[in-house]
């Protein structure tokens, strides 16, 4: 798992953008996408590929302020990926779930491999999403959402990289 500099941006995002100009209409349409982002990206390139940069259990002390958005637990499953559209980095993604929520169907999250998370998350009925919060990392747009598959909490952070189609 090769480290990618974009991954470190994921923890420097400013959340809540009340004091910055809002996204334009076309960008807002991307940022508020309710379905699978992977599927949406697939409509704008020939092939979406994934590179896993970090995956595994981390102690609660390693996830900082995000803990307030998740159930309290000693450890969390963390997955950080770069999504490429035709070989160009389009998105940095970070997923967190409490280890205590990795039971039942959610256990499959630990063995996604290079399969995009969305293929699992959107496999059946549209999953419940609590909110979409927008953020910025310098000029780049980001969003985060809490999904509630079977009542569990899955925190997804997505940072749209400079080559992503929403900046076109
Ligand atoms: C993944 C794929 C994560 C697409 C994402 O956001 C995403 C993944 C957190 O495979 O981990 O938009």
What CATH number does the domain containing 28 carry? Answer: 3.40.1410.10
Query: For ligand 1, which residues put their CB under 6 angstroms from it?
Result: 37-38, 50, 79, 81, 83, 91, 93-95, 116-118, 156, 158
CA geometry: angle 75, 78, 80, nearest 5 deg: 165
User: Given this model, what pLDDT does residue 64 score?
Assistant: 87
Residue among 33, 38, 143 to mutate when testing ligand 1 (max atoms within 8 A of CB): 38
Structure tokens at 132: 């979409």
Q: Pick the range with the lowest mean pLDDT from 58-62, 63-67, 75-79, 142-146.
A: 63-67
For residue 37, pLDDT over 70 is answered with: yes
Domain of residue 16: give its range: 5-167
Q: What is the mean pLDDT of residues 29-41?
A: 96
- Nearest Cα residue to atom 7 of ligand 1: 93
- Nearest Cα residue to atom 1 of ligand 1: 117
Atom of ligand 1 nearest to the CA of 36: 12
Give the Cα separation of 121 and 123 in Å (integer): 6
User: Given this model, what pLDDT does residue 1 score?
Assistant: 59
Q: What is the mean pLDDT of residues 100-115?
A: 95
User: Given this model, what pLDDT does residue 17 score?
Assistant: 79
Q: What are phi and psi of 52, to 5 degrees?
A: -80, 125
- Total domains present in the chain: 1
DSSP category for residue 112: -
Q: How far does the centroid of ligand 1 lie from the alpha carbon of residue 146, in Å? A: 13
Residue among 11, 37, 55 to mutate when testing ligand 1 (max atoms within 8 A of CB): 37
CA distances from 115 to 121, 142, 147 (A): 11, 22, 18
Strands 88-98 and 48-59 turn out to be unpaired
């Amino acid at each position: 798992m090769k480290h990618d500099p974009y991954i470190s941006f994921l923890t420097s995002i400013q959340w809540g953008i009340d004091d910055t100009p809002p996204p334009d209409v076309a960008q807002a349409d991307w940022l508020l996408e309710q379905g699978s982002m992977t599927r949406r990206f697939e409509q704008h390139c020939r092939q979406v590929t994934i590179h896993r940069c970090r995956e595994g259990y981390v102690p609660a002390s390693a996830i900082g302020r995000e803990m307030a958005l998740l159930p309290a637990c000693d450890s969390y499953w963390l997955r950080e990926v770069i999504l490429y559209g035709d070989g160009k980095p389009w998105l940095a993604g970070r997923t967190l779930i409490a280890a205590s929520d990795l039971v039942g169907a959610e256990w499959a999250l630990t063995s996604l491999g290079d399969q995009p998370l969305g293929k699992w998350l959107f496999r059946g009925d549209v999953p419940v999403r609590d909110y979409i919060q927008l953020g910025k990392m310098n000029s780049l747009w980001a969003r985060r959402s809490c999904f509630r598959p079977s009542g569990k909490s899955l925190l997804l952070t997505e940072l749209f990289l400079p080559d992503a189609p929403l900046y076109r």
